[in-house]
Amino acid sequence: MGYARWEDALAQRGYDWQSKPRDPPQANCLFFSETNFNVCGRFAEVYRANGLNLDARRGFSLEESKALFGVPLTGLITERLSDGREYQVQYFERARFEWHPENARPYDVLLGLLGREVRGAR
């Protein structure tokens, strides 16, 4: 599986995602048996609304969303980001979703800037 980049970002923050307790499936959430984590609420909406169009049909299937973001590596967690503020975030194989309640939709869920964070850490 392609966990290397975000796994490294999590490890740098002292978060060992593989040792964390797993979620049971929850109602009205997307459950991923690959990692036993749920994606719920606004994050689930954004996840399902985006993806790689693999079949030339309108909209995105769960597999197309998974192709873009990967599976979740964490549940919902609170994390202090590079701006010094705390946000609700969830890590995926190829993305970090951040909830920014100060922003109106559709900008209330943003993707993390891993490259900027890694470069700033040097």
What residue numbers bound the domain in which 116 lies? 4-120
Question: How confident is residue 71, by pLDDT bands cut at 50, 70 and 90?
Answer: very high
Q: Which two structure tokens, joined as six digits, stand for 44? A: 């689930």
Question: How much is the pTM?
Answer: 0.82
Quote the number of domains for the chain.
1
Phi, psi torsion values for 2, nearest 5 degrees: -90, 55
Question: How confident is residue 117, by pLDDT bands cut at 50, 70 and 90?
Answer: low
Phi, psi torsion values for 39, nearest 5 degrees: -125, 120
Average pLDDT, the chain: 87
